[in-house]
């Protein structure tokens, strides 16, 4: 076979099963775009900013569990991708980014649109490549997918100089597509030690993290909770792995978790952490997190074990495989009636207070009413801020990959492009994007992409005229000095969306919110739903940054 | 991070076998730098035909060493990591040559 480097990359992407890529062309990646134009398998989604392309790829990957691809040119194209790559790294999302680079002979000369993409992306990728020969592509492209998907998933970047895209290669055999490698298997003795700790525990809690979603282990985690009778908490990344209505679930832990959840954790004698990394937003002050608990920690990433909390039993492996080995060996469990009664008591006395949840003009009520209008099939994305935490607390999530949010990096601007990506990956499902007036403007240009692609994305815009979570922290912890958190001017978001060619509904002007939402969702295609939210509303409860989780304010 | 510093009393040596290409040093050294861990000494030499290299890193022997070692093992181009808690003669020999 004989072809150019650019054609080779496209064929290799096709062989990986890629059908949609997002990106923006530019000088240094034009050969690749020329080859992409000839592909009958791969559809290109033209975004309006490379960060949008990065988050669209993330939305596809988060919704499907498959690796997704984004493209950018050299220089500013590559630097614009960086936030989306760093976000994928912190939330362990398999994304393969392909960037154009100036021709090999010009690297290091400060050529037009030259930047050290390789150097810039070292700390934010799982691995990265600067390709130095066309032959290398045969190895690098499948390897990039293998690395992105193996072990703990993550982003991989391939930087391809323009001359290598144009170079010709002759080869005899296609390489195998890259796929996930087998995970490490913890020893039977370690499994036995974990089983013994679980069986003996008087007051155990199961702590589920995003790794449960990545591993496809939600049904097994549920089986473990039910078989062993384990009250279960979830991180922001794991929401949906146990349905909101499940009797054993205690919802989200940490900074904005319910009082009953954080108080239960403080009393537990065994914490079974599954695909979770003891993030500071989840643990609060670590020394006071589950102070009396032994810890069983199951994670595919060995460097997460003992990182924050030393585990009594550490099981390094794929959480689905490890749970699959543990479940058939769960023996008789200690009598947990007293513990479950205590959990019931905590839930009764310190529940999550969703004040106003029956009033659709109130933030919690609007989230609940949106969920009813969107239906159970909907995928939910969020931006970052108060609306994100309110949605995490109040949206009735009931399956993994239903909830797509920027957990680790906390990137404002994530919601809209991630929703576009989710809609591309799962076109049969409606997608709801909860956003705020601060976040939406950070990637507002992707409304043009959304209109062009005509995807079934409904944006619910919580407008309080401020950076709400900053405003909240300044109010609570900085003596009410509101510096730079309230917008002095603001666009008319309804007319702005209309200018992009997007249907709008302004709930402020609607006499019946549920009816208006039902009408919005009844019609397929994009729609921006605007609602004014009171600036005085807070996310409660709240653990002050650096405090113990038992020191909650409000709620 | 930029203050003038003295060499810590307790030093360990990490011996890494890595793929030999231009990006490897930046992956390895970056791992330590961004965790505010100063690499006191570095020696790197190609092995055999040059497809692989060996890197010896002289690093502070603190609580950070175990997590840093686990992070180093995760790097795609790092094939093996051996810890020498009592140092390694390669630095003594180089030290003598430097004077």
pLDDT band (50, 70, 90) for residue B1: low
- Which chain A residue is nearest to residue B70, measuring alpha carbons? A303
Residue range A334-376, pLDDT digits in tens: 999 999 999 999 999 999 999 999 999 999 999 999 999 999 9
Task: Determine contact, residues A159/A78, Cβ cutoff 8 Å.
Answer: yes
Residue range A459-489, pLDDT digits in tens: 999 999 999 999 999 999 999 999 999 999 9
**In sequence order, what are the residues at sequence separation of 6 or more whose Cβ sits closer than 8 angstroms to the Cβ of residue B40?**
B7, B8, B11, B58, B59, B60
pLDDT band (50, 70, 90) for residue A264: very high
Per-residue confidence (pLDDT) for residue A451, from 0 to 100? 98
Instruction: Please check the confidence at residue B3 and state whether its pLDDT lies above 80.
Output: no
Write down the mean pLDDT value for chain A: 97
pLDDT band (50, 70, 90) for residue B7: confident
Mean of pLDDT values over A430-442: 98
Q: Select the more confidently predicted residue: B6 or B97.
A: B97
Residue range A520-548, pLDDT digits in tens: 999 999 999 999 999 999 999 999 999 99
Residue A544, class by beta-carbon neighbours within 10 Å (0-12 exposed, 13-18 middle, 19+ buried)? Answer: middle
Task: Determine contact, residues A165/A31, Cβ cutoff 8 Å.
Answer: yes
Distance CA A28, CA A73 (A): 6
Mean of pLDDT values over A277-302: 97
| Residue B95 touches chain A, beta carbons under 8 Å | no
Per-residue confidence (pLDDT) for residue B36, from 0 to 100? 87
- Chain mean position to CA A354: 24
Task: Determine contact, residues B19/B90, Cβ cutoff 8 Å.
Answer: no
Tokens linked to B25: 């040093």
User: Residue B76 and residue A306: Cβ atoms within 8 Å?
Assistant: no
Residue range B84-98, pLDDT digits in tens: 998 899 998 888 988
Nearest CB to B70 within list A119, A122, A302:
A302
Residue range A384-412, pLDDT digits in tens: 999 999 999 999 999 999 999 999 999 99
Instruction: Please check the confidence at residue A124 and state whether its pLDDT lies above 90.
Output: yes
Q: For an interface test with B, which of A108, A152, A303, A304 has the most B Cβ atoms less than 10 Å from its Cβ? A: A303
Distance CA A389, CA A342 (A): 27
- What DSSP character marks residue A544? P
Residue range A52-78, pLDDT digits in tens: 999 999 999 999 999 999 999 999 999
Per-residue confidence (pLDDT) for residue B2, from 0 to 100? 67
Write out the H or E segment, with its range, that includes residue A283.
Answer: helix A280-283
The per-residue DSSP string of B40-77 comes to -EEEEEEETTTTEEEEEEEEE-STTHHHHHHHHHHSTT
User: Residue A303 and residue B71: Cβ atoms within 8 Å?
Assistant: yes
- Which chain B residue is nearest to residue A129, measuring alpha carbons? B23
Backbone angles phi, psi at A369, to 5 degrees: -65, -35
Per-residue confidence (pLDDT) for residue B98, from 0 to 100? 87
Q: For an interface test with A, which of B18, B70, B81 has the most A Cβ atoms less than 10 Å from its Cβ? A: B70
Per-residue confidence (pLDDT) for residue B6, from 0 to 100? 79
Mean of pLDDT values over A228-249: 96
Mean of pLDDT values over A304-321: 96
Q: Which of A87, A76, A160 is nearest to A407 (CA)?
A: A87
User: Residue A122 and residue B70: Cβ atoms within 8 Å?
Assistant: no
pLDDT band (50, 70, 90) for residue A6: very high
The whole-angstrom distance between A118's CA and the closest CA on chain B is: 8
Distance CA A87, CA B26 (A): 21
Distance CA A265, CA A203 (A): 9
- Which chain A residue is nearest to residue B35, measuring alpha carbons? A123
Q: Using DSSP, state whether A206 is helix, strand or coil.
A: strand
pTM (2 decimals)?
0.97
- Which chain B residue is nearest to residue A147, measuring alpha carbons? B76
Per-residue confidence (pLDDT) for residue A253, from 0 to 100? 97
| ipTM of the shown complex | 0.93
């Amino acid at each position: 076979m004989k072809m150019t480097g650019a054609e080779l990359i496209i064929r290799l992407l096709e062989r990986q099963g890629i059908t949609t890529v997002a990106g923006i062309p530019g000088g240094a990646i034009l050969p690749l775009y020329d080859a992409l134009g000839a592909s009958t398998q791969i559809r290109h989604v033209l975004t309006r900013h490379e960060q949008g392309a990065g988050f669209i790829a993330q939305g596809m990957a988060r919704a499907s569990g498959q690796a997704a691809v984004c493209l950018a040119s050299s220089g500013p194209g590559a630097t614009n991708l960086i936030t989306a790559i760093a976000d994928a790294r912190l939330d362990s999302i398999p994304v393969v980014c392909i960037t154009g680079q100036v021709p090999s002979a010009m690297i290091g000369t400060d050529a037009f649109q030259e930047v050290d993409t390789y150097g810039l992306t070292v700390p934010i990728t799982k691995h990265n490549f600067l390709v130095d020969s066309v032959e290398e592509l045969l190895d690098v492209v499948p390897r990039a997918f293998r690395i992105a998907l193996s072990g703990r998933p993550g982003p991989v970047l391939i930087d391809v100089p323009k001359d290598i895209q144009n170079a010709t290669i002759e080869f005899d055999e296609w390489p195998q597509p890259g796929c996930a490698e087998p995970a490490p298997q913890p020893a039977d003795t370690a499994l036995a030690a974990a089983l013994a700790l679980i069986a003996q525990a008087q007051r155990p809690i199961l702590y589920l993290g995003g790794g449960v979603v990545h591993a496809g282990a939600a049904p097994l985690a549920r089986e473990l909770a039910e078989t062993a009778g384990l009250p279960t908490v979830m991180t922001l990344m794991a929401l949906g792995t146990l349905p909101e209505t499940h009797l054993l679930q205690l919802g989200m832990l940490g900074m904005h978790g319910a009082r009953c959840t954080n108080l239960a954790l403080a009393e537990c004698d065994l914490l079974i952490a599954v695909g979770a990394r003891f993030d500071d937003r989840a643990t609060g002050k670590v020394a006071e997190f589950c102070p009396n608990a032994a810890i069983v920690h199951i994670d595919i990433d060995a460097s997460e074990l003992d990182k924050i909390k030393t585990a009594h039993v550490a099981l390094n492996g794929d959480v689905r495989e490890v749970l699959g080995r543990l479940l058939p060996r769960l023996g008789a469990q200690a009598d947990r009636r007293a513990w479950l009664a205590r959990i019931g008591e905590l839930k009764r006395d310190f529940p999550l207070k969703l004040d106003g949840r029956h009033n659709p003009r109130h933030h919690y009520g609007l989230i609940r009413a949106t969920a009813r209008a969107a239906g159970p099939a909907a995928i939910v994305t969020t931006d970052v801020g108060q609306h994100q935490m309110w949605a995490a607390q109040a949206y009735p999530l009931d399956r993994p990959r239903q909830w797509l949010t920027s957990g680790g990096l906390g990137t404002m601007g994530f919601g809209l492009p991630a929703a576009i990506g989710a809609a591309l990956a799962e076109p049969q499902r409606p997608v709801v994007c909860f956003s705020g007036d601060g976040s939406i403007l950070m990637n507002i240009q992707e409304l043009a992409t959304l209109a062009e692609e005509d995807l079934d994305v409904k944006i619910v815009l919580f407008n309080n005229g401020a950076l709400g979570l900053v405003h909240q922290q300044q109010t609570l912890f900085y003596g009410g000095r509101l510096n730079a958190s309230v917008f002095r001017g603001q666009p008319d978001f309804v007319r702005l969306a209309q200018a992009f060619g997007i249907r709008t509904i302004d709930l402020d002007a609607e006499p019946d919110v549920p009816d208006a939402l039902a009408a919005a969702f009844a019609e397929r295609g994009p729609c921006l739903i605007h609602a004014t939210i009171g600036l005085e509303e807070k996310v409660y409860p709240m653990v002050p940054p650096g405090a113990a989780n038992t020191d909650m304010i409000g709620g | 991070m930029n203050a003038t510093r003295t060499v810590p009393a307790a030093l360990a040596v990490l011996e890494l076998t890595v793929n030999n290409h231009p990006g490897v040093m930046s992956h390895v050294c970056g791992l330590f730098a961004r965790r505010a861990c100063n690499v006191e000494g570095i020696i790197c030499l190609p092995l055999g035909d040059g497809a692989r290299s060996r890197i010896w890193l002289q690093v502070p022997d603190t609580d950070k060493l175990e997590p840093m070692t686990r992070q180093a093992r995760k790097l795609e181009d790092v094939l093996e990591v051996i810890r020498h808690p009592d140092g390694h003669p390669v630095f003594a020999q180089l030290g003598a040559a430097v004077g």
